[in-house]
Homo-oligomer: A and B are copies of this chain.
Amino acid sequence: MARRVTIADIAAAAGVSKGAVSYALNGRPGVSEATRTKILAIAAEMGFVPNRAARSLSVSSAQTVGIALRRPARTIGIEPYFMELISGIEATLSGGSFGLTLQIVGTVQEELEVYRRWWAERRVDGVFLCDLGTSDLRLDFVADLGLPAVAVGGPVEGARFPAVWHDDVEPSRDILEYLYTLGHRRVARIAGIPGLLHTAIRDEACAETAAGLDFESATMVHSDYTGEQGAQITRRLLSSANRPTAIVYDNDVMAVAGLGVAHELGLEIPEQLSLVAWDDSPLCRLTHPALTSLTRDIPAYGAKCAEVLLTLIGAAEASAPPGPEARAFSVQCKPAQLSPRGSTGPALV
């Protein structure tokens, strides 16, 4: 059982005060170069690592950020999105020696409670807000608390903190025009959860684009993102009188499920049906044919979110509580790019 070394040990070994050790360790003035070098050497030799709790208590900073995920236990694993996001966040955090605290919650109320507790305990210095809703309780709640946050998604109207987001309008246009060019005139989109911000944005953009192209039909059905619903809605769409020749899915999981249904019905892909997945992940390349997708770099996205949060925390520490200038930190990322693969082809019907 190893022993933890404290600044008192170093001070004793170096023959200086604890204060001097602290100054030396933190690169602040107050010690001569000679003593600094000596102290640093001793600290390194003794394998000193500061006690987090003591440091946090002194500087009122947890050196930790938090993320709360609201998903049922059994379905959270299937979405590659979150783990990719988290791994991107981590990439930025490790550099700044920040930790990440993760909590899975069931309801918004629970989520709000978690934020309040984290804030009250000073357990985190800031949080990531995922799955933004069209009117999202959490925004004001967290801002009122004075807890720094970044919205993972957007754009957010009158935000009191920064958002990191992708434009979904352009991809909406891209995908519909792509299908139109391939000759598809009956298209459907199995959209995500209606209350979500990006669902609403896609809904509107798709409707607008569709209106500008003379589709025979452009259907839209909301879902809960699960494979079950993806399959069920696909089955319904494909058994309708004038079935679509192309279906766009708001996530990869539903697209894979949709492909399964197409196989089950004996449809040739893409000859009889084209499929597109919004959000790319390795999952899309697992199937045959591989799924045409709208690709974003999620780990890079997570890294950017973390960058913005760290900046905000630094700023919030330096100056006043996060004010309107927080918006200035917002960053819009490159929109998703269409990656055509085997699941889409000319409409032959």
Interface 1/0s, chain A 284-324, versus B by CB < 8 A? 01111110000000110000000000000000000001000
B78 lies within 8 A of A282 (CB): yes
Query: Within 8 Å CB of A332, what residues of B?
Result: none
A286 lies within 8 A of B256 (CB): yes
B287 lies within 8 A of A260 (CB): yes
Q: Contact residues of A with B, CB < 8 Å?
A: 1-2, 4, 47-54, 56-57, 62, 64, 71, 73-84, 86-88, 90-91, 94, 99-104, 116-117, 119-123, 144-146, 226-227, 231, 253, 256-257, 259-264, 281-283, 285-290, 298-299, 321
Which B residue's beta carbon lies closest to that of A101?
B99
Query: Within 8 Å CB of A102, what residues of B?
Result: 86, 90, 100-102
Copies of this chain per assembly = 2
Across the A-B interface, the 8 shortest Cβ-Cβ residue pairs: A77-B80, A1-B146, A49-B120, A53-B56, A260-B288, A77-B83, A77-B84, A263-B288
Q: Report Cα–Cα, A56/B122, bound state, in Å.
A: 12
From the candidates B73, B226, B260, B285, name the one contacting A227 in the complex (CB within 8 A): B285
Q: Report Cα–Cα, A51/B59, bound state, in Å.
A: 13
Please, could you name 24 A-B residue pairs with CB atoms under 8 Å apart, sorted by A? Answer: A2-B119, A4-B122, A52-B53, A52-B121, A52-B122, A53-B54, A53-B57, A53-B62, A53-B122, A57-B57, A73-B91, A74-B282, A76-B83, A77-B81, A90-B103, A91-B104, A94-B103, A99-B101, A99-B123, A101-B101, A101-B102, A231-B286, A253-B286, A283-B283
**Shortest Cβ distance from residue A56 to the other chain B in the assembled complex, whole angstroms:** 4
B287 lies within 8 A of A77 (CB): no
- The residue among A51, A54, A286 with the most chain B CB atoms within 10 A of its own CB is A286
A257 lies within 8 A of B281 (CB): no
**Shortest Cβ distance from residue A159 to the other chain B in the assembled complex, whole angstroms:** 17
